[in-house]
Amino acid sequence: MAKKTKTASPADAQTYAHDQKAVQRPDVGLQQEFLKEKRPPKAYRYDSSLDPALSWDENPGREQAEWLLSLLQRCVDEGEEVVFAQPQTTVDGRFRVTSLKACVTLLQTLSKPFLNWAGKAERAEIKVPTLPLFVHERHSTKAIIDGLQSHKAKGTTLDLFGDPQLDLTDKLRAYEHKGPWVNRLVLGDSLVVMNSLLEYEGLGGQVQMIYMDPPYGVKFGSNFQPFVRKRDVKHADDDQMTREPEMVKAYRDTWELGLHSYLTYLRDRLLLARELLTESGSVFVQISDENLHHIRSVMDEVFGPQNCLGVIAFKKTGYQASGLLPANYDFICWYGKNAENAKYRQLYVPKMETSAFVGQDLWFEFPDGARRRLTKDEKDDSAIWPAGARLFRHKPPEGAGSGGNTDPFEFDGRIFRPKQGKHWSTTPEGMKRLADANRLIAMGNTLRFVNFLDDLAVGPITTVWPDTVVSGFSDPQLYVVQTSTKAVQRCMLMATDPGDLVLDPTCGSGTTAYVAEQWGRRWITTDTSRVPLALARQRLLTATFPYYDLQDPKVGPRGGFRYEHKQNRKGEEVGGLVPHITLKSIANDEPPAMEVLVDRPEILKNVTRVAGPFAVEALMPAAIEVEQPPAPAADDAPVLTAQQELGAYNDGGNHIDRMVRVLKLSRTLRLPENRTLAFDNVRSLDGYDYLHAEAEEQNGSDKRVAIVFGPEDGAIGSETVWAAASEASDAKFAKLYFFGFAIQAKAREMLEDRSKKILPCAFITVTPDVLMSDLLKTTRASEIFSVTGLPDIDVVKAGKDKNTGTDLVQVKLKGLDIFNPATLETEEYAAENLPCWMLDTDYDGMCFIASQVFFPKTSAWDNLQKSLKAQFEPGVWEHLAGTESEPFELGMRRRIAVKVIDERGNELMAVREVKAEGKK
C-alpha cells in the first residue's frame, strides 16, 4: 500500500498541475500578423473501398473489382513475390495494395453492404481550411481567489493562468514554442478546430479519448440553445432561433440536405477524430434510438467494424409519449482506434446491482454456521434479510478435462468424485483447505463451492446503465440537451488514466470538460456557438471538486491517484482497493488479489479543489479587415481596394447587393423601449472604397446618411471604421451607419469615443435572419436590424490596502450604453440583467486575462463560498454576484478592460486608461 503523502493544504483553494508541455498559441491581439502567411486547406481522403458503388454496370465499383481481379490473376501466373515486389496502385491513385492478402481483403470489402446517402459517391475526400487558433481569454479560479485575498495586481499571478509570458518576438512565433499545459474552450467549427490541432500543433495520435454528443436529429431545437439563461427551445419558433452568424452558417451547411447532410457531418468529424486518437484511444458517440443505426454504420466505415468495443444503453431523464412504447434510454457507441490495443479500466458496481446472482440457488449462512435457502419473499426484498446472515451461491469446484486432480475426496463422511471428463479445481491439499474454511457444501451427490456475495463485493459494469438520470440536485441542468455527468464519467474512467488528453468537439454545457477536470484529465472542448461556451465558462469557474490524493505530487495527475483498502463499521467495502477472494486464493492459502475501483481514489478532507487554468480560444475568422491600405499598383495592373485585395468581404458584391435589397425592404431600426427609426430612399453607392449605400432618415430632417455593411462571416474592424468615416465626412454625409453581424472591440470603442469621431456614427446589429430565410416561418421587417450597446463603467478610488498602503481602485458596471441614432443620445441597459461580466485589471491589448468574474443576480459562486467561507467576508461574494468589483491594485499599464456577455453569448468590451492620480 502506498504511503500517504501530504499533497495539499486545506488553507487555500487547490488545483491540479499537469506536468505535460503544450504547443503555445498566439494571442488574439496578434491576429493580423498571421494574415501574412496562410496555409492551404488539408485534404483528407475517405476510404475508397467504401465508395457507394455496388452495381456492376456503370459505376466505379466495377472498375475497382476488375483491377483487383487482374492482380489476383497475375499472382496465379507470375507469383505474389513478383507482382508485389512494388506496391500496386490504380491509375487515379485511389487504391494501393501491397500483398495478395490485402488484395483479397479489399475485394471482399467491396461486396459488403454499407450505408449510402446523397452526395457520398461524389466526394472522394474533404478539404478542411487550415487556420490557427488564437487565445482570447485566460481564466483561473485560483488566481481570482488569490487576487481577492491580496488585492495584488494581475502581473504577480500570471503563472496561475498558465501564461508562458513570452516576449513579443516569441509570441509572433508562438507555435514554435512549448509551455505549460492549460485546458481549452474553443469557439469554432469542430472540423476546422480539429484540423488546426493536427496541422498547427501536431496533436495527431495524442488524444486518448474523444466524446461526441452530436445533435440527435436535424431539428433546430435539438442542436442549439440561443440564450444563456433560457433552456426551453422550440423547433420552428422564430424567437428561439440563434442569431449568431457562425451558428447559422453551420446550421445551413450541416443540415442543407437533412439526414444526408447529417451523415456527412458525422463522417467528416469522425475521420479527423481517428487521426487525433492514440493507438489505444477510444471515441464515444452519444445518440438516441432515432439515428443509432446510422451512427453504427458510419462508425463501422471510419473505424472498421472490428474496432467496435460496445454499444452502451443509459437511462435518460424523461421520455415523450408516442402512443407506443416510450423510449427512456439513449445510447453511446464506443469504438477504438485499434481494438487490440484499446486502453480499458474495468469499472464495478455493487454486486447486488449486477445480474451475477440473478436466477441462482441462493442461500444464507448464519453466524452459528447454519445454512438455508432464501424464501421467495427474501429473494424479492433484501430489506427483510436476517441480521448477520451472509448470502452465497454455490458452484462446482471443478475444471474441464481429466488431466488434473481426480482423486476421491472425503467430505462430511461421504466420498465425492469429479464428474466424468472433469477434475477438481485444486490439489488434494487445496481441497482440504476449502473444507477447513467451511467453503464446501454437499448438494445431493455433488460437492459444491460456497461463493459468498462479499467474496467480491462488487461486480463488473455491463452495457446497460439504468442509474444515469440527470438529477436536479446532483446534476443541475444548464443546457437544453445537457449530457449526463455519470455517463461521461464512466466512459472517461474506462478509457483513460489521469493526465490523459480528452477532446469533446460538441461542448454543450461543458459536461465532458467538467468531468475531465474532476478526474485530473487534460481537456479541449469546442463549439460553434458562444452560448454553450458562456455556460461552460461559468460552470468551470465556479465549480468545486474533491481533491483526490496524488501518488506523486511533483508529477501531478499523470502519476495516478492513491487507493486504499477500507471498510466501514458494518464491514462493507468503502475504499478503492477491494479484496477478491477466490477458490484459488483459499485453496493455496494466499492473500486475496485486490481489485482497483478507479472511481474511489482517496480524498483529502477539508481541501477545496477548483478548476485549473484554462483558455478561451477561437479560430481566425475567414474575413479580416486590412491593417493598412494596399500598396500602389503598377501602371499596368488593376487597382484593387483594400477589401478586394484580401477578399475581406467574402464575395462582397453578392453580399452587399443582398444587404441593400434587405434594407430597402426592411427600412426600420429597432431602438430601446420599442421605438423605431426608419430610412427612406435607400440607394447603392458607386465610386467609394468603403461606403456601400446611402439613405435619408424619416425624422423630418431628410439628412443624407452613409451606410457600410460589414463582412458576411466576420467582424467590422477599426481600420474600416476610420477609413469609412473619413470617406463619409469628405462626401458631406450627416451620419454614418455600420450594419454588421459583429464588430471588433477596438472598432466599437472608436465608435463610442466622440472625441475620435469625424462625424456621428452608429453600429447596427444585423440579425442573421437575412441569411436563413428558408429556416424561418416569418421574418418581421422591424426585427432585422437593432442597435446594440457598449459597457458603461466607472473607475473609482477604493482606499488603500491595509497591509501595503497601496492605492486601490474599483470598477462599477453601470450597464450597456445603447446609442439611439434618431436622437444621437445614449441610453442604458441595466447591468444587473446581464448574465456575466469580467474584469482585466491590467489589460495588455493582446489577450483578456480575467482577474475577477461576475455573475449578477445568480448563485453561481455559492459552492465556492460555502467551501471558503472562513477565508472571506460575505461582502466579497456579494460583489461577485453584483455589478461592482472588489477593490484591486492597478497594474503597470494602468489600463483595465471590462468584457460583458449578453443573453445570446455576445461579447462586448470596453477599455479604460486610468491616470496616475487615480482619476478616470
pLDDT digit string (tens) for 370-389? 999 999 999 888 889 999 99
Among 235, 225, 293, 304, CA closest to 259: 293
Query: What average pLDDT does this structure show over 259-282?
Result: 90
Q: For residue 296, give the CATH number of its domain.
A: 3.40.50.150
| Pair 383, 505 in one domain | no
The cell for 455 is 467474496
Checking if the pLDDT of 601 tops 50, the result is yes
> Which has more pLDDT, 744 or 667?
744
Q: What is the domain extent for residue 480?
A: 21-26+135-330+471-545
> Which has more pLDDT, 320 or 68?
68
> Which has more pLDDT, 706 or 39?
706
pLDDT score recorded for residue 233:
42
* Helix 190-199 × helix 259-276 angle, to 10°: 20
**Structural domain contains residue 40:** no
pLDDT score recorded for residue 121:
62
CA dist., res. 360 & res. 342, Å (int): 33
**Structural domain contains residue 634:** no
pLDDT score recorded for residue 467:
87
In tens, the pLDDT along 297-314 reads: 899 989 989 999 999 999
| Pair 755, 718 in one domain | yes
CA dist., res. 812 & res. 797, Å (int): 11
pLDDT band at 180 (very low <50, low <70, confident <90, very high): very high
| Pair 83, 174 in one domain | no
Match 504577480 to its residue by C-alpha cell.
Answer: 156
Query: What average pLDDT does this structure show over 268-273?
Result: 94
Q: Which of 115-119, 265-269, 415-419, 501-505 has the lowest mean pLDDT?
A: 115-119
Checking if the pLDDT of 96 tops 70, the result is yes
Query: What average pLDDT does this structure show over 188-194?
Result: 90
pLDDT score recorded for residue 628:
27
Query: What average pLDDT does this structure show over 756-768?
Result: 74
In tens, the pLDDT along 821-832 reads: 555 566 677 888
**Structural domain contains residue 82:** yes
In tens, the pLDDT along 606-640 reads: 888 999 999 999 886 533 222 223 333 333 333 32
Q: Which of 140-154, 156-170, 364-378, 855-869 has the highest mean pLDDT?
A: 364-378
Mean pLDDT over the full length of the chain: 80
| Pair 670, 815 in one domain | yes
| Pair 384, 429 in one domain | yes
pLDDT score recorded for residue 111:
63
**Structural domain contains residue 254:** yes
pLDDT band at 846 (very low <50, low <70, confident <90, very high): confident
Element of type H or E holding 694: strand 693-697
> Which has more pLDDT, 894 or 670?
894
pLDDT score recorded for residue 216:
57
pLDDT score recorded for residue 675:
56
| Pair 263, 318 in one domain | yes
The cell for 611 is 478548476
**Structural domain contains residue 48:** no
**Paired strand residues for 45:** 125
Final residue belonging to a domain, choices 545, 569, 603: 545
Checking if the pLDDT of 429 tops 50, the result is yes
The CA-atom distances, in angstroms, between 689 and each of 134, 174, 636 are 29, 35, 20
| Pair 166, 197 in one domain | yes
> Which has more pLDDT, 268 or 749?
268
pLDDT score recorded for residue 825:
60
The rounded percent of the chain whose pLDDT value lies above 70 is 76
| Pair 225, 247 in one domain | yes
pLDDT band at 566 (very low <50, low <70, confident <90, very high): very high
In tens, the pLDDT along 646-684 reads: 222 233 457 788 788 878 776 666 554 455 677 888 889
CB 406 within 8 A of CB 424: yes
CB 916 within 8 A of CB 897: no
| Pair 163, 103 in one domain | no
Q: Which of 107-116, 677-686, 910-919 has the highest mean pLDDT?
A: 677-686
| Pair 713, 656 in one domain | yes
Pairing of β 348-350 and β 458-460: antiparallel
pLDDT score recorded for residue 835:
85
**Structural domain contains residue 818:** yes
Final residue belonging to a domain, choices 460, 494, 515: 460
Q: Which of 213-222, 307-316, 827-836 has the highest mean pLDDT?
A: 307-316
Checking if the pLDDT of 466 tops 60, the result is yes
| Pair 313, 357 in one domain | no
Q: Per DSSP, which regions of 384-487 are E strands?
A: 390-395, 398-400, 409-411, 414-416, 422-424, 440-443, 446-452, 458-460, 464-465
Domain count, the chain: 4
pLDDT score recorded for residue 362:
92
**Structural domain contains residue 346:** no
pLDDT score recorded for residue 531:
78
Checking if the pLDDT of 512 tops 90, the result is yes
| Pair 92, 141 in one domain | no
Final residue belonging to a domain, choices 428, 460, 492: 460
Element of type H or E holding 907: strand 907-913
The CA-atom distances, in angstroms, between 202 and each of 35, 270, 276, 378, 435 are 21, 18, 9, 60, 61
